[in-house]
């Protein structure tokens, strides 16, 4: 089985150059059913491990307001790739980190690429990479994709970011079924970071709590929402709970339209900032 | 997307989306304070070049200089390569016409070489144009061009975002209409779909190149440039008219990232150019070849059977049918028939002219054309080709994107009416000027 | 904008030189552009080989860009250099375009193709071609001079030109 990797980033950050560097000629363009958005798919192998890379459209956020954002968000939510690589333009960190924060909210296995690092250096700017990585709780790789610099480091980081249960399965240790997490097994208070959806590697996924937390006021509301949703197994199995709570707090129309029970919806909408 | 009113916290007056976005940005700000230290060199060329390229008054003239250069490059620099390809096909034609089986000789010489071979003459300008567009895109200027145009469009009360589909329309109208999905609001989107076909697509280029080359050889590049400008002006004007009459909706400003300026690579531009050329060649090898054979057949068959002279063929009947309608524009039946076939694809206009006049080589066709219409009518013809319905594929895409037969029919009818009216204006004004 | 920043702190004299250069080049492009328009409209010298009034308008635009740069340069604003750069880019585009056209025409003449038999090189030596040569020479010499003094700052400039 291949490790699935999704490549995402703002437009004009050199994402497709990174993609081409990773996959070389092993790629093809696919039109997604019913969509005008094109996504490229490619393969590479590193340390005897096969990787399958998907190049998601360039987006600034995941609000699902444009078709590009919708495609990217649905892919991440529904397919839960093993590793998500967010390519950032290192010379425009402030704007590019916004998407990174949204991906952290999604609790995916994230690797951040600071691309176009040569621009940062030529401007004489200084970025404390280790500290940034620590603050975000995400491994960071520095690259200059146009010069093919940092690509091996990126592959290594992707490999390291592969979650343990996937790695174990790939290593052939199939006898882990006994220790598999089952829905409802965890105590309620941990629900915020527990994603019971059947992962495509045949196991349930345990989400790591994100390092970045919002203000107490917001986090309290999120817990409140998750408590209310506790019995909605269909929703809770489909989306990471904290992310779901954030979207409800944000009044995301797509997510709200999935809640059919009007009474429940009203209760949820009472939770406001 | 419309948000149901229950979703918003109207009474509290806070949009939770904004609260969360602020939260995220404050976290980003705090992290950046911690890890990021700006360097001393803040004066960047990219920013200061934008001061000029996006200048309030200079921006537009600078844009025109660049686009004009692009068209001159497309036309003038490719002319010699067109002539070389033409010589090659003339040479092949001199052999195929010697084939002892008359119908096969005619099919190959008049149909395939007269049609497809003639179309292939236009591969160089298409390649050159895509080379130029690719350079503009890679350098980062194309995004600025959208920005410069946006300012004008917003000033005219149009939505700036429509400019991106319109810009794509220079390549091909089909993706342009599809890109109208990115435009906010149904009426804005519909307006964009309706006016995108007025932007001159690459398929129309061969027609201009042929006609302008015959009638205005010295200033052909400029004539083609003016046609493209006319297309833009017409698109903007019609959009404005639609906005004032059929639709009314507020427009929102364009939010767009301007990529950094880069020196475009020759390699990248060549790849892009080759991609486009191979697409065109594929089209020439399939649709245009089939079209050429059908056209050849129709031009050689009539009520009297196969092998009749072209004047008695079905093509001639078709042309004569519409002759009274086009008489004020000074088009003869050959051109009318070519325009009718041009609904299949605009390149077919050129192909059809090649087959119907049944003469070899651009020089011979040039002579035949120059004899059959006046220079004023030639301009009217180019304007007509610019504005009338591009092709069947576009009609299909409009139908698919609007989901409405009514709007599709409206799109076709208004474009033909507009093309006719504009061509008539050219003939009348031109007639007055020439005397 | 940090004028004293690391890019290039021009001295008063340098700004003055640049302003004079911009004014001179602007005037050159402007005069020849207007002349080309008049020739194209057959107002003057109707038998000229060069008949391209719209090309003349393009030269006038280049002139406008240069002349717009004079004021910021006199006010010692770094931004003024951007006008010089854009003027040079536009002039350069028109120059390269004319070189390419000249080259392809020469190819046609060499192959003795029908429409090129009577081509002569003089008809392609347009103002757009000739005007850029001094700009190019001055730019190169200025570039060299600056590189000698401030290597670091010129790396950035070299990337754009």
Average of per-residue pLDDT values in chain B: 80
CA distances from A240 to A101, A198, A199, A206, A212 (A): 15, 12, 12, 10, 16
Quote the tokens at residue C88: 């040079």
* pLDDT for residue B105 is more than 60: yes
- C9 half-sphere exposure, CB direction, 13 A CA radius: 7
What residues contact residue B248 under an 8 Å CB cut-off, 6+ apart? B187
Could you tell me whether strands A110-115 and A140-142 are parallel, antiparallel, or unpaired per DSSP bridges?
Answer: parallel
* pLDDT for residue B1 is more than 60: no
* pLDDT for residue C93 is more than 90: yes
Q: What is the DSSP letter of A149?
A: B
Average of per-residue pLDDT values in chain A: 79
Q: How does pLDDT run across B181-192, given as a tens digit for each residue?
A: 666 667 778 888
Q: What percent of chain A has pLDDT over 70?
A: 80
Question: A122 in contact with C at a CB cutoff of 8 Å?
Answer: yes
CA distance A108 to A101: 11
Residue of A nearest to B8 (CA): A251
Per the CB < 8 A criterion, the answer to whether A222 and B20 are in contact is no
* pLDDT for residue C2 is more than 70: no
Per the CB < 8 A criterion, the answer to whether C160 and B50 are in contact is no
**What pLDDT does B249 receive?**
55
Q: How does pLDDT run across B413-432, given as a tens digit for each residue?
A: 999 999 999 999 999 998 88
The closest CB to that of C2, out of B43, B64, B261, belongs to B43
The closest CB to that of C97, out of B44, B69, B219, belongs to B69
Question: B370 in contact with C at a CB cutoff of 8 Å?
Answer: no
The closest CB to that of B39, out of A11, A123, A136, belongs to A123
Query: A114 versus A200: which is more confidently predicted?
Result: A114
Q: List domains and CATH numbers for chain A.
A: 3-165 (3.40.50.300), 179-270 (1.10.287)
CA distance A54 to A60: 18
* pLDDT for residue C105 is more than 90: yes
Average of per-residue pLDDT values in chain C: 81
- Interval A154-168 mean pLDDT: 84
Confidence of residue B41 (pLDDT cuts 50, 70, 90): low
The closest CB to that of A127, out of B19, B28, B35, belongs to B35
Helix (H) or strand (E) holding C153: helix C151-160
**What pLDDT does A28 receive?**
59
Helix (H) or strand (E) holding A197: strand A194-198
- The distance of C64 to chain B (nearest Cα, Å) reads 8
**What pLDDT does B13 receive?**
53
Q: What percent of chain C has pLDDT over 90?
A: 37
**What pLDDT does B160 receive?**
60
* pLDDT for residue C153 is more than 50: no
CA distance C130 to B235: 37
Domain residue spans in chain C? 12-160
Which residues of chain B does A12 touch, with a Cβ-Cβ cutoff of 8 Å? 257, 259
Q: How does pLDDT run across A218-241, given as a tens digit for each residue?
A: 888 888 888 888 777 777 778 888
Q: What is the DSSP letter of A60?
A: S
For the ranges B215-219, B321-325, C9-13, the maximum mean pLDDT occurs at B321-325
Inspect the interface and report whether the beta carbons of C107 and B80 lie closer than 8 Å.
yes
Quote the tokens at residue C149: 């003094």
* pLDDT for residue B404 is more than 90: no
Residue of C nearest to A118 (CA): C156
pTM value > 0.90 = no
* pLDDT for residue A182 is more than 80: no
Which residues of chain C does B55 touch, with a Cβ-Cβ cutoff of 8 Å? 68
**What pLDDT does A267 receive?**
81
Inspect the interface and report whether the beta carbons of B45 and C85 lie closer than 8 Å.
yes
Confidence of residue A34 (pLDDT cuts 50, 70, 90): very low
Q: How does pLDDT run across A71-81, given as a tens digit for each residue?
A: 889 889 888 88
Confidence of residue A6 (pLDDT cuts 50, 70, 90): very high
Which residues of chain C does A122 touch, with a Cβ-Cβ cutoff of 8 Å? 155-156
* pLDDT for residue C111 is more than 80: yes
**What pLDDT does A201 receive?**
52
């Amino acid at each position: 089985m291949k490790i699935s990797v999704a490549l995402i980033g703002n437009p004009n950050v050199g994402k497709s150059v990174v993609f081409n560097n990773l996959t070389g000629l092993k790629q093809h363009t696919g039109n997604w059913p019913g969509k005008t958005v094109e996504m490229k798919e490619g393969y590479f192998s590193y340390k005897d491990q096969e990787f399958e890379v998907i190049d998601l459209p360039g987006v600034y956020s995941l609000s699902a307001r444009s078709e590009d954002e919708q495609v990217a968000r649905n892919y991440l939510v529904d397919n839960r790739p093993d590793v998500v690589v967010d390519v950032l333009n290192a010379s425009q960190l402030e704007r590019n980190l916004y998407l990174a924060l949204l991906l952290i909210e999604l609790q995916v296995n994230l690797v951040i690429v600071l691309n176009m690092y040569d621009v940062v250096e030529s401007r004489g700017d200084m970025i404390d990479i280790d500290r940034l990585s620590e603050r975000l709780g995400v491994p960071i790789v520095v690259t200059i994709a146009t010069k093919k610099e940092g690509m091996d480091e990126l592959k290594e980081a992707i490999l390291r970011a592969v979650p343990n249960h996937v790695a174990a399965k790939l290593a052939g240790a199939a006898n882990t079924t006994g220790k598999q997490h089952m829905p409802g097994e965890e105590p309620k208070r941990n629900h915020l970071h527990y994603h019971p959806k059947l992962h495509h590697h045949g196991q349930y996924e345990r989400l790591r709590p994100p390092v970045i937390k919002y203000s107490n006021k917001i986090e309290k509301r999120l817990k409140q929402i998750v408590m209310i949703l506790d019995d909605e197994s269909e929703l809770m199995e489909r989306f990471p709970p904290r992310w779901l709570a954030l979207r409800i707090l944000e009044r995301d129309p797509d997510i709200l339209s999935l809640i059919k029970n009007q009474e429940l919806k009203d209760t949820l909408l009472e939770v406001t900032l | 997307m419309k948000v149901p009113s229950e979703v918003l916290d109207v009474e509290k007056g806070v949009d939770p989306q904004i609260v969360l976005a602020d939260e995220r940005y404050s976290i980003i700000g705090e992290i950046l304070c911690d890890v990021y230290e700006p360097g001393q060199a803040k004066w960047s060329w990219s920013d200061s070049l934008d001061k000029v390229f996006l200048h309030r008054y200079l921006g537009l003239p600078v844009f025109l200089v660049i686009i004009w250069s692009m068209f001159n490059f497309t036309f003038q620099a490719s002319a010699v390569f067109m002539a070389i390809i033409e010589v090659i096909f003339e040479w092949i034609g001199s052999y195929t016409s010697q084939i002892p089986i008359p119908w096969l000789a005619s099919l190959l010489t008049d149909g395939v070489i007269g049609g497809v071979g003639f179309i292939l003459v236009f591969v160089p300008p298409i390649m050159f144009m895509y080379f130029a567009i690719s350079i503009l895109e890679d350098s980062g200027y194309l995004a600025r061009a959208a920005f410069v145009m946006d300012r004008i469009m917003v000033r005219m009360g149009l939505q700036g975002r429509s400019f991106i589909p319109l810009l794509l329309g220079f390549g091909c109208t089909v993706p342009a209409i599809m890109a109208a999905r990115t435009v906010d609001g149904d009426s804005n989107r519909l307006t964009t779909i309706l006016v995108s076909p007025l932007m001159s697509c690459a398929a129309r280029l061969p027609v201009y190149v042929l006609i302008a080359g015959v009638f205005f050889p010295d200033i052909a590049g400029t004539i083609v440039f003016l046609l493209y400008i006319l297309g833009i002006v017409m698109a903007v004007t019609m959009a404005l008219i639609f906005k004032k009459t059929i639709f009314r909706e507020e427009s929102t400003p364009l939010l767009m990232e301007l990529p950094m300026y880069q020196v475009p690579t020759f390699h990248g531009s060549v790849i892009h150019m080759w991609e486009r050329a191979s697409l065109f060649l594929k089209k020439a090898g399939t649709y245009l070849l089939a079209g050429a054979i059908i056209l050849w057949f129709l031009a050689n068959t009539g009520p009297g059977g196969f092998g009749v002279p072209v004047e008695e063929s079905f093509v001639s009947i078709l042309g004569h049918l519409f002759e009274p309608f086009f008489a004020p524009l000074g088009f003869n039946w050959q051109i009318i028939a070519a325009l009718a076939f041009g609904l299949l694809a605009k390149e077919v206009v050129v192909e059809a002219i090649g087959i119907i006049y049944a003469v070899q080589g651009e020089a011979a066709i040039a002579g035949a054309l120059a004899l059959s219409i006046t220079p004023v009518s030639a301009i009217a013809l180019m304007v007509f080709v610019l504005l009338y319905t591009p092709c069947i594929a576009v009609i299909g895409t409009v139908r698919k994107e609007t989901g409405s037969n009514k709007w599709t029919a409206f799109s076709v009818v208004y474009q033909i009416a507009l093309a006719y009216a504009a061509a008539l204006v050219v003939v009348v004004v031109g007639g007055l000027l020439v005397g | 904008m940090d004028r004293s920043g690391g890019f290039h702190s021009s001295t008063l004299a340098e700004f003055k030189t640049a302003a004079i250069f911009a004014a001179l080049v602007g005037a050159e492009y402007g005069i020849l552009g207007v002349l080309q328009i008049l020739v194209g409209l057959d107002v003057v010298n109707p038998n000229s080989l060069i008949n391209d009034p719209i090309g003349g308008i393009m030269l006038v635009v280049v002139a406008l860009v240069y002349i717009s740069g004079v004021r910021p340069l006199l006010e010692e604003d770094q931004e003024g250099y951007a006008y010089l750069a854009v003027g040079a880019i536009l002039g350069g585009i028109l120059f390269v375009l004319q070189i390419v056209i000249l080259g392809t025409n020469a190819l046609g003449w060499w192959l003795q193709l029908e429409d090129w038999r009577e081509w002569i090189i003089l008809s392609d030596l347009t103002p757009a071609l000739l005007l850029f040569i001094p700009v190019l020479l001055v730019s190169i010499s200025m570039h060299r001079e600056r590189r000698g003094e401030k290597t670091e700052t010129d790396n950035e400039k070299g990337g754009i030109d």
